[in-house]
C-alpha cells in the first residue's frame, strides 16, 4: 500500500500578491498538492492533474491510516494510466478551495478572522496562475501532460493556452471551453440552496453552526447532474428502502432518496459551503471564447491533445467536446478525440476506468517517445 501525504507551498507574500482577474489581489497563498512517483533527472516526466469542483489534491494512494485511497486512484499508480513507475504525477488543489489551500475559510491575515465573503472572487485562470507558481517552485520547465475531468479539464485547457510553452500534451475529459446556460442555471440553484439556509449568515458562519441543509441540497442537485437517467434507473430503479409498500408520508420511500441523503450528509462534513459558492462561480465565469474566437484562443497552444467525452454525459455533453476539437483542428494541432459509449453520465470519467486506462497509457507513451505523428502545419 502506497502512503502519501498532502504537501503545501506558500507564496505571493505581500507585497508580491497574486493579481486576480477581478483586479483584486490575494496573498500570501497556500496551495495544497500531492505527488506520486519520482521526477527524473532532466525533469521531463512530470504530469500535472487537476480535480473537479469538490475534489482535492489527494488523487491517489492512501493517507496514513485511511481505508480509502485518493479520488482517482484507479487511474494513478504503478502500471496504471498515469503510471507512477514512469511519470512524476502531481495533483494540485485550487485557490478558493477548502482542502488545504487558501480559500474563504482561511484566516485573513489582515483581520485575523476567516475571510468568509471578503475572500476575493477567483477564476479558473487565477487557479491556474497559482498552480504555475507551484510548478516553478518544483523547478519544472515543461509538463509532459496536464489532465483532468470536468473542472479539471477546464484547468488543463487553460494551462495549454495560458502557458503554452509549459504544456506538451493535454488530456481533457468530460469538459468544455465555456460554461453554458444550463450549467450556470444548475449551479445557481445550488448556490441559492446554500444562501437561503439561515445558518449561512452571509458567509459568516465559521465557528458557529454551518449551513448544512443548504450545502446538502446543493450536493444533491450536483449528484443528480453527475448521473444519467439510465444509470439512476439501473442503480436504484423504484426500489423502496426496507419497506414493503409506499408510506404515504414525506419520509423517504425510495432508495434514490436515501442515496442522496447519505451522500450529501457525508459531503457537508468535508466541504465548506463558501468554497462551493466561490468555485461554482469560477466555473460559471469560465469562457475561453469571451474575448476572442475559440480558434484564435487555441492558436497559442502547442500541445498534443486527447479529448474524451461520454455519450450519456448531459452536464458536459459530447457536442461541447466536439466544438473544442473543431477549434483545435482548425489550428492544425495534433488532436485525438473519442466519445466513449457509457451510461454513467458525467460520473463516467471516474467510473469508466478500463477504456480510459488504455487511451491514457498509449497516448502518454506516444507523447513521451516524442513520436507525435502530426507536426504543426505552419
**C-beta neighbour count of 309 within 10 angstroms:** 27
Q: Quick check: helix, strand or coil at residue 356?
A: helix
313 is a catalytic site residue: yes
Of 11, 62, 322, 351, the residue at the interface with another protein (CB under 8 A) is 322
Q: Is 234 in the site for another protein (CB under 8 A)?
A: no
Binders of another protein in range 267-306 (CB under 8 A): 304, 306
Of 201 and 336, nearer to another protein (C-beta) is 336
Residues 6+ apart with CB under 8 A from 352: 310, 340, 342, 344
Cell reading at 297: 484562443
Contact 357, 75 (CB under 8 A): yes
Q: Is 359 in the site for another protein (CB under 8 A)?
A: yes
Of 192 and 368, nearer to another protein (C-beta) is 368
Of 124, 128, 260, 325, the residue at the interface with another protein (CB under 8 A) is 325
Of 21, 108, 326, 351, the residue at the interface with another protein (CB under 8 A) is 326
Candidate list 150, 228, 312, 343, residue with the active-site label: 150
Strands (E), 29-163: 29-36, 46-50, 76-77, 82-83, 88-92, 107-108, 113-114, 145-149
CA distances (Å), origin 218, targets 19, 73, 280: 30, 26, 11
Residues 6+ apart with CB under 8 A from 330: 295, 298
Q: How far is the CB of 145 from another protein (least distance, A)?
A: 14
Contact 47, 89 (CB under 8 A): yes
2 is a catalytic site residue: no
> Which one of the spans 59-67, 123-131, 228-236, 331-339 is the region binding another protein (CB under 8 A)?
331-339
Q: Is 338 in the site for another protein (CB under 8 A)?
A: yes
Candidate list 83, 253, 313, 347, residue with the active-site label: 313
Q: How far is the CB of 340 from another protein (least distance, A)?
A: 7
Q: Is 25 in the site for another protein (CB under 8 A)?
A: no
Of 83 and 253, nearer to another protein (C-beta) is 83
Contact 46, 159 (CB under 8 A): no
Of 30 and 368, nearer to another protein (C-beta) is 368
Q: Quick check: helix, strand or coil at residue 364?
A: helix
Q: Is 332 in the site for another protein (CB under 8 A)?
A: yes
Q: Is 329 in the site for another protein (CB under 8 A)?
A: yes
150 is a catalytic site residue: yes
Q: How far is CA 261 from the centre of its chain?
A: 23
Q: How far is the CB of 337 from another protein (least distance, A)?
A: 5
Q: State the DSSP string of 327-365.
A: HHHHTT--EEEEEE--SSGGGHHHH-HHHHHHHHHHHHH
**C-beta neighbour count of 13 within 10 angstroms:** 11
Of 232, 330, 351, 353, the residue at the interface with another protein (CB under 8 A) is 330
> Which one of the spans 25-33, 91-99, 219-227, 366-374 is the region binding another protein (CB under 8 A)?
366-374
Dihedral pair phi/psi, residue 279, rounded to 5°: -70, -35
Contact 20, 123 (CB under 8 A): yes
Cell reading at 319: 457536442
Of 290 and 371, nearer to another protein (C-beta) is 371
Q: Is 363 in the site for another protein (CB under 8 A)?
A: yes
**C-beta neighbour count of 354 within 10 angstroms:** 8
Q: Is 371 in the site for another protein (CB under 8 A)?
A: yes
Q: How many CA atoms lie within 13 A of 308 on its CB side?
A: 29
Binders of another protein in range 132-161 (CB under 8 A): none
Q: How far is the CB of 324 from another protein (least distance, A)?
A: 11
Q: Is 355 in the site for another protein (CB under 8 A)?
A: yes
The two beta strands, 29-36 and 88-92, are antiparallel
Of 146 and 333, nearer to another protein (C-beta) is 333
Cell reading at 172: 481533457
Q: How far is the CB of 373 from another protein (least distance, A)?
A: 5
Annotated catalytic residues are: 150, 313, 346
Interface ranges with another protein (CB under 8 A): 304, 306, 322, 325-326, 329-330, 332, 334-341, 355, 358-359, 362-363, 365-366, 369, 371-375, 377
Amino acid at each position: 500500500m502506497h502512503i502519501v501525504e498532502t504537501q503545501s507551498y506558500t507564496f505571493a507574500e505581500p507585497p508580491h500578491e497574486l493579481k486576480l482577474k477581478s483586479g483584486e489581489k490575494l496573498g500570501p497563498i497556500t496551495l495544497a498538492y500531492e505527488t506520486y512517483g519520482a521526477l527524473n533527472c532532466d525533469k521531463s516526466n512530470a504530469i500535472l492533474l487537476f480535480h473537479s469542483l469538490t475534489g482535492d489534491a489527494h488523487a491517489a494512494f492512501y493517507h496514513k491510516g485511511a481505508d480509502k485511497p485518493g479520488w482517482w486512484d484507479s487511474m494513478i499508480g504503478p502500471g496504471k494510466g498515469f503510471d507512477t513507475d514512469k511519470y512524476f504525477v502531481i495533483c494540485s488543489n485550487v485557490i478558493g478551495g477548502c482542502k488545504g489551500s487558501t480559500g474563504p475559510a482561511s484566516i485573513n491575515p489582515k483581520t485575523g478572522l476567516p475571510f468568509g465573503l471578503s475572500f476575493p472572487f477567483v477564476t479558473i485562470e487565477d487557479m491556474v496562475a497559482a498552480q504555475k507558481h507551484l510548478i516553478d517552485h518544483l523547478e519544472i520547465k515543461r509538463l509532459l501532460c496536464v489532465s483532468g475531468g470536468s473542472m479539471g479539464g477546464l484547468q488543463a485547457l487553460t494551462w495549454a493556452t495560458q502557458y503554452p510553452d509549459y504544456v506538451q500534451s493535454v488530456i481533457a475529459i468530460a469538459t468544455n471551453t465555456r460554461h453554458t446556460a444550463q450549467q450556470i442555471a444548475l449551479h445557481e440553484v445550488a448556490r441559492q440552496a446554500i444562501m437561503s439556509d439561515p445558518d449561512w449568515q452571509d458567509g459568516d458562519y465559521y465557528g458557529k453552526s454551518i449551513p448544512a441543509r443548504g450545502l446538502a441540497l446543493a450536493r444533491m442537485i450536483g449528484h443528480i447532474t453527475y448521473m444519467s437517467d439510465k444509470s439512476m434507473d439501473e442503480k436504484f430503479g423504484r426500489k423502496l428502502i426496507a419497506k414493503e409498500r409506499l408510506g404515504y408520508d414525506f419520509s423517504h420511500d425510495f432508495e434514490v432518496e436515501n442515496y442522496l441523503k447519505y451522500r450529501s450528509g457525508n459531503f457537508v462534513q468535508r466541504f465548506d459551503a463558501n468554497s462551493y459558492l466561490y468555485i461554482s462561480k469560477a466555473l460559471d465565469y469560465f469562457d475561453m471564447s469571451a474575448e476572442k474566437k475559440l480558434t484564435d484562443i487555441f492558436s497559442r497552444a502547442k500541445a498534443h491533445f486527447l479529448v474524451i467525452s461520454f455519450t450519456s454525459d448531459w452536464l458536459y455533453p459530447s457536442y461541447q467536446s466536439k466544438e473544442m476539437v473543431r477549434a483545435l483542428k482548425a489550428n492544425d494541432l495534433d488532436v485525438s478525440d473519442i466519445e466513449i459509449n457509457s451510461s454513467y453520465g458525467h460520473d463516467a470519467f471516474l467510473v469508466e476506468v478500463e477504456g480510459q486506462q488504455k487511451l491514457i497509457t498509449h497516448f502518454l507513451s506516444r507523447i513521451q517517445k516524442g513520436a507525435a505523428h502530426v507536426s504543426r502545419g505552419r
